[in-house]
A = this chain, B = another copy of it.
């Protein structure tokens, strides 16, 4: 079902996963692919700083990390001109195809990897088939390699179709850190979009299953706490220290214990923590990179308020200072029924698709919500489509993988939906 060349693209991207704002190779590789496939057929191709609202990037890593990733990308021999335009962490691209008179339909796919080590189990497909991550400590553990590939596949399918109107494919960076959605939502390219589709593979749905309209996006906020105490010799003068690691540990214990809320689901995770400098020094500094979520913005704020109080009291308890910074936040969003109806209809006709669910809850967060809400506030319609894939490990785990035929299901379902939307203008 999936053309071999799409599989090849996906595996190439898989081999070089790049976390948020470091998608240098990925962007350049996609540009190369689009150029070679469509050449002049593509009406516009906006790359890097031209693709996004540069003021609205969130959670950009520090220069050292950007440079490291940039140099690594350079060594692959990818197009130097494209690469240079991305320098400083301006990644992503927007491809525009104009095919006659009709509405403007957008498709948003995300392209970043995760900072985690991929499994080296010989039974893990990417190991067995030789396309395991070559980037130490990074992995496509959430299927964005397949998403980017679907974006390319849909462009191709629409090129060859009877579609009338304009198709814009948004290759969005930095989804995993809630960092890129806003910058794409605020770019000029989204302003005239009438209909927006976004998509995700997997989500515990098996290959052959499509979810026409995904909902249940939790609002999310990042929260970073930096504790500062006072060092001291741990053997000689422990009482002269003010222990930032004790403050951090107290905070972690109590963050997870924030009361459940009867108004709806909430989440909390102290995802990255660190502290201290040497075994024999009372730790002077420690930090927590946390995120909280809620079914609604109110519930997310309930979690933020509680988390801030916990962190501040934990610092005070150990006579430390703390700086709390709220990071990137993404809102909640809802798939419009009109589009979900179209997707449901066309998905049933795709070869290999055996089951179509009308609705399902995500229960997680996604910064596609920035784009969905932007389009909806402009009077347009938006829908988030789930494409089932058998995945051996869960999302974000070392053995996550995509069952490749599902890439084809995604391409066909989305392309058909885009055609139908342009035709029916729901």
Chain A residues proximal to chain B, CB less than 8 Å: 114-116, 142, 176-177, 203-204, 218, 220, 222, 230-241, 243, 245-246, 248-250, 252-254, 256-257, 259-263, 265-284, 286, 289-291, 293, 302, 309-310, 313-314, 316-319, 362-365, 394-398
Shortest distance from the beta carbon of A340 to any chain B beta carbon, whole Å: 20
A283 to B, closest residue via Cβ? B271
CB < 8 Å neighbour of A218 from B235, B278, B293: B235
Residues from chain B with a CB closer than 8 A to the CB of A231 are 116, 394, 396-398
Q: A289-B279, A395-B233 are in contact. Are A239 and B260 (CB under 8 A)?
A: yes
Residues from chain B with a CB closer than 8 A to the CB of A263 are 239
CA distance A402 to B267 in the complex (A): 35
Contact A279 B291 (CB under 8 A): yes
Residues from chain B with a CB closer than 8 A to the CB of A241 are 259
Contact A275 B272 (CB under 8 A): yes
Q: A233-B396, A235-B220 are in contact. Are A272 and B267 (CB under 8 A)?
A: no
Residues from chain B with a CB closer than 8 A to the CB of A283 are 269-273
Contact A396 B257 (CB under 8 A): no
CA distance A203 to B235 in the complex (A): 12
Residues from chain B with a CB closer than 8 A to the CB of A302 are 239
CA distance A53 to B139 in the complex (A): 43
Contact B260 A291 (CB under 8 A): no
Shortest distance from the beta carbon of A40 to any chain B beta carbon, whole Å: 40
